[in-house]
């Protein structure tokens, strides 16, 4: 057992609690014990806002609407592409029992899509109109889709283009959401016409059940999905947590005619993506020298330049036990009932690791990626020493060798039993925060008066 490696972290933790975070010079605090010398120092951090045109759109919630940020005056638009999942046996009875018929052929009495909104931003009374566009080809999971991806080139020419007006106070069967009727005559890609879209789905099922054997077959042969595009309205953004396509018909069950229905749900087995658009205000905000910004979904991150070389100067043979980083949030100055909330969770990771982290479904490792939660108006990363050490060994010809990003994220957790019989909460997924948030942070200058500094604890064995 290596006693040296065990002793240093334990001692560092004890000393961290008593370390003065306001020290401005290395070596201001020195403690000697058992041939170990402990020293501390603080170093200035520089920061800037970084404009981000898009983020990976992998989220169980889709966003639809058009809003204006009351603090910055920027406009944000959300459009959503949704697909529907099928099962090999989706619940239709035997064909002969269906009594909804025209010219002795089965039909759907009606068909609709329901977008359930579990939350929203803005004025729920704002009147909006969306257009539901039928996809001609599906967006496939073999590709990574970002929030600036426009699926317009995949829409079906001559397919469904259904307008629907709504407010976010609308209810359907006691659930808040948006209902889009699909009861107009429908012509499929082969030129066959049906009284509505539901009839197309029903007749296709009884003719080609293999098309309903998997979601892939369903998407590529029957229903590639729908793109819901904001047509008009301002003042709200719907957070679509679930979607469902319903077919209603009548069937004779146990000798009695009854209303029946079959539903196709938007689930994790298929894609739900959002296309997020910002106006040109972001460039002005990114150039603001008084602060840095975090704006979601997509828009602005904050990049930090860490003083790695300064931290190691004069301490080349020391052990870095702890590096603490805190960034203060600036309170909103605009008073409005629709002021955007600050980001709750921030991910810190190397700038060059941004895309790989999310595309590869990584979790924080507390070595080069870290998580902080807003507390007392401050985001604090308690110990990023592993990152500092890794950066000291990085290729200095890379312009981003000592740069990290602060990225607002949504953290998914679960509670599980431990071997001792207790419970623990573990992180199962980290994705980009796609909700509407806006956060101002103090701006690091990189000079001695910088409001952002890192506090370092070293140990030297003699």
Give the bridge partners for 323, in sequence order.
Answer: 456
* Residue matched to tokens 């629907």: 164
Phi, then psi, of 157 in degrees rounded to 5 = -70, 125
pLDDT for 6 beyond 80: no
Average the pLDDT over 324-335 and give the result: 92
* pLDDT number for residue 23: 38
d(CA 346, CA 166): 34
Q: Calculate the CA 349 to chain-centre distance.
A: 16
Nearest to 389 by CA among 320, 462, 286: 320
* pLDDT number for residue 445: 96
pLDDT for 382 beyond 50: yes
What confidence tier does 173 reach under pLDDT thresholds 50, 70, 90? low
d(CA 355, CA 316): 32
pTM: 0.86
What's the pLDDT tens digit per position in 60-116? 889 999 999 888 888 899 999 999 999 888 899 999 999 999 999 999 999 999 999
Q: What's the start-to-end Cα distance of the chain, in Å?
A: 20
Query: 107: which 2 tokens?
Result: 């039909």
* Residue matched to tokens 């066959």: 192
């Amino acid at each position: 057992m290596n006693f040296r490696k065990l002793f240093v972290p334990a001692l560092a933790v004890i000393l961290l609690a008593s370390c003065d975070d306001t020290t401005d010079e290395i070596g201001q605090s020195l403690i000697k014990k058992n041939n170990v010398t402990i020293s501390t120092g603080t170093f200035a951090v520089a920061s800037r806002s970084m404009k981000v045109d898009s983020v990976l759109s992998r989220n169980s919630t889709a966003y639809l609407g058009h809003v204006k940020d009351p603090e910055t005056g920027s406009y944000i638009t959300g459009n959503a592409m949704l697909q529907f999942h099928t099962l090999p046996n989706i619940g239709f009875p035997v064909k002969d029992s269906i009594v909804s018929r025209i010219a002795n052929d089965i039909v759907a009495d009606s068909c609709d899509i329901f977008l359930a909104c579990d939350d929203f931003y803005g004025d729920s009374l704002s009147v909006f109109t969306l257009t539901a566009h039928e996809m001609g080809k599906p967006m496939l999971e073999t590709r990574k889709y970002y929030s600036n991806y426009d699926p317009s080139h995949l829409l079906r020419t001559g397919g469904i283009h259904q307008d629907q007006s709504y407010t976010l106070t609308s209810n359907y069967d006691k659930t808040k959401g948006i209902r889009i009727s699909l009861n107009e005559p429908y012509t499929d890609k082969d030129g066959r016409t049906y009284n509505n879209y539901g009839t197309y789905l029903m007749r296709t099922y009884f003719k080609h059940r293999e098309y309903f054997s998997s979601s892939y077959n369903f998407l590529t042969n029957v229903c590639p999905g729908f793109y819901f595009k904001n047509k008009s309205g301002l003042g709200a953004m719907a957070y679509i947590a679930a979607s469902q396509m319903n077919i209603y018909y009548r069937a004779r069950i146990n000798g009695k005619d009854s209303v029946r229905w079959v539903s196709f749900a938007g689930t994790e087995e298929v894609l739900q993506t959002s296309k997020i658009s910002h106006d040109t205000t972001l460039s002005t905000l990114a150039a603001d020298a008084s602060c840095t910004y975090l704006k979601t979904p997509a828009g602005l991150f904050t990049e930090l330049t860490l003083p790695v070389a300064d931290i190691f100067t004069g301490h080349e043979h020391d052990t870095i036990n702890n590096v603490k980083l805190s960034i203060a949030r600036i309170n909103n100055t605009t008073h409005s009932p629709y002021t955007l909330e600050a980001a709750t969770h921030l991910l810190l990771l190397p700038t060059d690791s941004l895309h790989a982290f999310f595309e590869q479904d990584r979790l924080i490792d507390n070595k080069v990626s870290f998580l902080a939660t807003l507390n007392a108006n401050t985001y604090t990363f308690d110990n990023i020493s592993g990152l500092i050490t890794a950066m000291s060994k990085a290729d200095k010809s890379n312009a981003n060798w000592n740069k990290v990003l602060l990225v607002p994220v949504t953290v998914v957790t679960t509670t599980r039993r431990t071997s001792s019989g207790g419970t623990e909460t573990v992180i199962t997924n980290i994705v980009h925060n796609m909700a509407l948030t806006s956060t101002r942070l103090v701006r690091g200058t990189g000079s001695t008066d910088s409001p952002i500094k890192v506090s370092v604890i070293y140990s030297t064995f003699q």
